[in-house]
Amino acid sequence: MSQTNETMRQNVVTGNKAGIRVKTIAFVGLMGGVSAVLMLFRFPIPFMPPFMSFDLSGVMEMLGGFMFGPMAAFCIIVVKILLQLVIQGSFSLGTGELQGIILSSCYVLPAIFIYHRNKTKKTAAAGMAVSTVLVAIVAVLTNLYMIIPFYVNLFGMTMDDIIAMCTAVNPAMKDAMTMALFGIVPFNLIKYGATSILTFLLYKRLSRFIKGIIEK
């Protein structure tokens, strides 16, 4: 009799774990979908490079990573990019989407690894601060050595044409170096800094709500 009860208990535990796993996968997919929708509301920032746009899609990626771990965060990023391709297509033959995966991963993954070593508000804030600085640096490299050269070749432009576009909105951007210092870096610090602040404000409330649904 006791052996039967133990078997039944194990079956219930196994069933609960399977149910939690399914609900987690569903929420990861949902977060990827919300992230893709947030991408639709992107807009340029005054005095910043006109080819860069602000959005808050990283909030879902960071929230998902904090709740479910780095693999879930990466899945949210991939779902977002795939849905974006379905909804809008690619304007850069995949290079913009590749940059999106690189920048999102550089932003989300370090913060998640730092946070999951010691789950406190301080480590969450520290992780996102580190990630914000890191992604700003990586954005300089991906823009100067991947995205901009691609567009220059694709549309028959020159680097001077790109710089002229930036100078028109901000006279301080006169060459590649000043475009990086006064455009790419501050843009990404603003974008991912705002994303981090919003994530910090939302995380506890949303995580309790979502985990409460998953664990029912």
Q: What is the CA radius of gyration of the chain?
A: 21
Percentage, residues of the chain above pLDDT 70? 91
10 pLDDT band (50/70/90 cuts)?
low
Q: What is the pTM of this model?
A: 0.88
90 pLDDT band (50/70/90 cuts)?
confident
Angle, helix 95-117 to helix 121-142, in steps of 10 degrees: 160
**Alpha carbon distance 68, 73 (integer Å):** 8
Can you say whether residue 48 is alpha, beta or left, with left for phi > 0 and alpha for psi between -120 and 50 degrees? Answer: beta
Task: Name the residue with higher pLDDT: 22 or 130.
Answer: 130
Domain that residue 6 falls in: 2-214
Of 101, 128, 104, which Cα lies nearest the Cα of 202? 128
Contact at 8 Å (CB) between 194 and 42? no
User: In CATH, what number is assigned to the domain containing residue 151?
Assistant: 1.10.1760.20
| Residue 127 token pair | 């992780």
Residue 16: predicted pLDDT: 59
What confidence tens digit (pLDDT) does each residue in 129-142 have?
999 999 999 999 99
Number of neighbouring beta carbons within 10 Å of residue 24: 18
Total domain count for the chain?
A: 1
| Residue 140 token pair | 């300089």
- Residues in CB range of 205: below 8 A, 6 or more apart: none
Indicate if the pLDDT at residue 13 is higher than 50: no
In the predicted model, what is the mean pLDDT of the chain? 89
Across 165-177, average pLDDT: 95
Indicate if the pLDDT at residue 11 is higher than 50: no
